[in-house]
Structure formats: structure tokens, C-alpha cells
Structure 1
Amino acid sequence: MEIRHLRYFIAVAEELHFARAAQRLHIEQSPLSRAIKHLEHRLGVQLFERTTRTTRLTWAGQIFLDEARHVLFTLQQAIASAKAAAKGYRGKLRIALSDDIDPVRLSVLLAQCREEEPDVEIRLFEVPLAQQLVGLRYGLYDAGFTQTLDEPDGIVSQVVWSDSLVVAVPARHPLLAHTDIPIEEVLRYPLIQCHPQSCEGSHRQIQHYLRTLRAAPVIAEQVATFDLMMVFVAAGFGIGLANESHTNTCRHLDVVTRPLSGNRLAVETRLLRLDAEPSAPLRRFIDRIGSLQLGSAMRN
């Protein structure tokens, strides 16, 4: 079995269409079909159910897909580690990022790591939360940042910082009559939300907050980024609810932010890692997060 067979299989499994997979791989469809048949023959199992109209993974194919991704990711990690060693690095940390993590805090943290331990390479991986959890359990990541409220089995969840939930409104909007805006007033207008797949953790926290208020907001748009949220708000499509750190980094001339009054929400960012003794580089990384949090509190 060759590595290219795994790449071919993953492409077909993700596209579920041989022609699209061939186009994605920049090869002809015939050699792709032959490679998949050869792979099935070598494994002795059927990976796909094919008809003239559809292509579907078998149960064996679904299991093999997870393992094939793991193998390719491990290979990529090995290649990256070899290149890093050639550049003089003596250690590495693999950090997964799920949700839209505060870029200001993250850049300050990475700068401190680079200054204090220049021989430790830090690799960042932007992945969905489900993939982060799988990667942590497989040992593909050393730790990960997320805004989920869940505490999965075997995973240590540590709150590292929090942000106030703020309201983003168009300039000259009636809500700006309030210095602190009541959530009841916000919910009179359509909301612009970040898409639950793009910002799963923060979306869950905001939805939980709204459910505690027994609120059923009208959703005008769901967007993939906070930058796009600000565009829709500026255009008057609705009101945005977002972390204060996101509104600070995605400023728009025609958008004004205000804090909520009364029962406010602090959106938490957590660090996840396996429930085991962390490596020395990871322990120092966690300690730096703690000092960063303290420094932020002192500045505020």
C-alpha cells in the first residue's frame, strides 16, 4: 500500500464523487478508480458502495477514513518535526484552535513563548472542536483552545480567560440611547449570529445564555466570521452579539458597541489537554497563560 492510496481514498470519501475527487487530486478519473479498487483488494474489504448515481462509504470505509486521516496527519507531523530539528528546534508544542480565539491574547502569548523558549517550536492547527478532541485523545495535539462548556471524559478543561458579551449596533441606532443596553431591548431586533460550526463554543455559550432568559430571538443572518458580522450590522441587517475581544479586533466605522446591562454574560475560553501529567514544555506554556491572565487583569 502506498501513501497516495490513502490520499486518493480520503479525497473520494470526502467528495463522495469520483469525478470531483479526481479533479481535486489533479488526476484522471480512471487511475483513481483503479487505485481505489486496488486498495479494497489489498485490505480485503469494500470501502464504498457505488451505483450509477451515488457513492457512499460502507461502515468499514467510515472506520478506515478516521484511521487514514490519522496516518496522514502523523506522517505530516513527522516531516514537520524533521524539518524543525534541522532548523535547530529542540522541542515542539502542537496547539489546536477551535472557535475564533482572541488574536490579541494569542499573539502576546506566542511572542512570550518565542522570547523565553526560542528552541521550542509551536505549531497551530485551526480545527473544529470535534476534531480537536479526537486529536487530543490520539496524541496529535498537546493542548487546544476552545470556548466549549463541555468537559469530555479524559480531558482536563481549564478556564484561561473570559470576555464580556457586548452588543454591536449600527451607528445612529435607537439602542444607542442606552449606555448599557438591556438584553430585552436587544431582542426586539433581528440578530446577526456567528455560525455554530465556525464558532461552536461561543455560539453554545450565547445560546445557553438566551435560553436562561427564555428568549426566542429572530435570527437575520449566520456568518462565518466576526468581520462579516460587523459588515451586516453596519448595513443595518440586524444587531450583533459578540465577545468584546472580537469586536475590538473587528472594528467598523459604522458600528458602535455597548455593554449589556443587568445579567451579563462572560464568554469563557478554555485550554483542553489530556488528563495526564503534562510535558515540561506544556507545563511552561500553561504557566505563561496564567501570567498573561494576571497581566491582563493588572492592565484593566
Structure 2
Amino acid sequence: EMPLDQQIKGLHDDLYDVGFSMAEEVGDGIVVRPAWEDELMVAVPARHPVLAHKHVPLEEVLRYPLALCDPAICEGHARQVDRVLQRYEQQPLIAQRVASYEVMMTLVSAGLALGLAGAAHIASGRGPGVVARRLAGKSQMLATYLLHRDVEPSEMLARFIARVDSIDSADGSSAAEDS
């Protein structure tokens, strides 16, 4: 994990063959390919009032303080979540912008904020005291992209890209939800 600008520099400098990012606008000389999607969910402290909802309306989420990813660190994730939030008139109450999903889950677990993240991130970083809930309405999906230099890929890299292209984004999409 690293900021997008460092990842792009590493790809251009041939330090890395490939990278993954949630940002699709990366500049010249880099190919951006959709890799998979993950459902946007809300991480909720145990015993929080929004747990009365099996699927939480985003309007309800916006009534509470949020821990969101820092755009300087998690640029693509922050952009995608901000696009979802901009569809609503109500401005989010941002308790803290965080540098990692682990910090987000810590704030949620402590009862200081709700978190918005992909189902896989919530499932992998969720500790005791954090419950994952789907958002009400149409599922909002967060995209992850595979990045590589705009040159003919090596045989090994071409096989890797083909393998990523074959990933079924529906696999495990509800793994983080607790009833």
C-alpha cells in the first residue's frame, strides 16, 4: 500500500510490473484495467442505533460522524466514496480522515464514528465491536483497477493480467455482512 503518486512513479521507473488502485485517472503512459468491484458498506459500532436497519439508508448514515479515507493516502477510494456522498443534499459530518482501513475500524470499534468501505476491507479489518451493514437501495460498488505501463507486457505479466480479467466480481460480495 502506498499513495497513488508513488505507485505511478514506481511503475514508470520500472520498479513494479503491475499495481492495483481504486483510482482510474492516473495520467499518461499507464494502462488502467478494471480488476474487480466490491460493495460499499457501512461499518457500525456494536449497539449503535443504525443497527435497527438491516440495510441502512445513506441518509441515516449521514446523521452520524464518519471516519473516511484520507484522499492524500487513499485517493481512489476517497474519490469513489465522495462521489456517492455528493448525490445527497446533506453534507457528511467527517469525524476524521484516516490513512488506513485499520484506523477506520479502530475508530468505529471505539464508537467514535461510522465507516464507509468496501465489504472485503471491512471483513478483513473488522474486529470485535464492529458490525458490517449493507446500504439500503441499489448497491454502490467500489472499483479496483489493475495498472501497468503502456508497453507490451512480458509473457508472465500477460498471463497475470488475463487471470485478473477472469475474476468474477460477484464472489464473496456479501462475506462481510452480519445479520
For the superposition of Structure 1 and Structure 2, which TM-score range results when normalised by the shorter chain? 0.7 to 0.9
Alignment partner, residue 108 of structure 2: 233
Structure-1 separation of matches of 2:172 and 2:20:
23
| 1:258 equivalenced with 2:133 (yes/no) | yes
Alignment partner, residue 281 of structure 1: 156
The code of the aligned residue for 1:191 comes to: L
1:115-138 deviation digits (Å, cap 9, x = unpaired): xxxxxxxxxxx4321122222223
Alignment partner, residue 25 of structure 2: 150
Task: Note the 1:106-121 alignment, pairs <5 A.
Answer: none
Measure how far apart 1:151 and its partner are.
4.7
| 1:188 equivalenced with 2:63 (yes/no) | yes
Alpha-carbon distance change, 235 to 186 in structure 1, aligned in 2, over 3 angstroms: same
| 1:173 equivalenced with 2:53 (yes/no) | no
Alignment partner, residue 12 of structure 2: 137
Measure how far apart 1:277 and its partner are.
1.7
Q: Which runs of 5+ in 2 are unaligned?
A: 174-179
Greater share of residues in strand: 2
Alignment partner, residue 26 of structure 1: none
| 1:271 equivalenced with 2:146 (yes/no) | yes
Measure how far apart 1:164 and its partner are.
0.5
The code of the aligned residue for 1:244 comes to: A
- Secondary structure at the counterpart of residue 203 of structure 1: helix
Question: Is 1:149–1:205's contact at 8 Å kept on the other side of the alignment?
Answer: no
Structure-1 separation of matches of 2:84 and 2:130:
23
Determine which of 83, 87, 97 is the counterpart of 1:222: 97
Determine which of 205, 219, 226 is the counterpart of 2:80: 205
The code of the aligned residue for 1:201 comes to: G
Measure how far apart 1:247 and its partner are.
0.7
The code of the aligned residue for 2:31 comes to: V
Question: Is 1:234–1:254's contact at 8 Å kept on the other side of the alignment?
Answer: yes
Alpha-carbon distance change, 136 to 203 in structure 1, aligned in 2, over 3 angstroms: same
The code of the aligned residue for 2:41 comes to: V
Q: Which runs of 5+ in 1 are unaligned?
A: 1-125
Greater share of residues in helix: 1
Structure-2 separation of matches of 1:231 and 1:198:
18
Structure-2 separation of matches of 1:297 and 1:209:
20
Measure how far apart 1:299 and its partner are.
6.6
1:144-178 deviation digits (Å, cap 9, x = unpaired): 11000315223211111111010111111111111
- Secondary structure at the counterpart of residue 288 of structure 1: helix
Measure how far apart 1:280 and its partner are.
0.7
- Secondary structure at the counterpart of residue 212 of structure 1: coil
Structure-2 separation of matches of 1:145 and 1:268:
10
Question: Is 1:128–1:197's contact at 8 Å kept on the other side of the alignment?
Answer: yes
The code of the aligned residue for 1:230 comes to: M
Larger RCO, structures 1/2 (Cα 8 Å, 6+ apart): 2
Runs of at least 4 residues off by over 6 Å: none
Alignment partner, residue 119 of structure 1: none
| 1:290 equivalenced with 2:165 (yes/no) | yes
Task: Note the 1:60-99 alignment, pairs <5 A.
Answer: none
Question: Is 2:4–2:73's contact at 8 Å kept on the other side of the alignment?
Answer: no
- Secondary structure at the counterpart of residue 71 of structure 2: coil
Alpha-carbon distance change, 299 to 248 in structure 1, aligned in 2, over 3 angstroms: closer
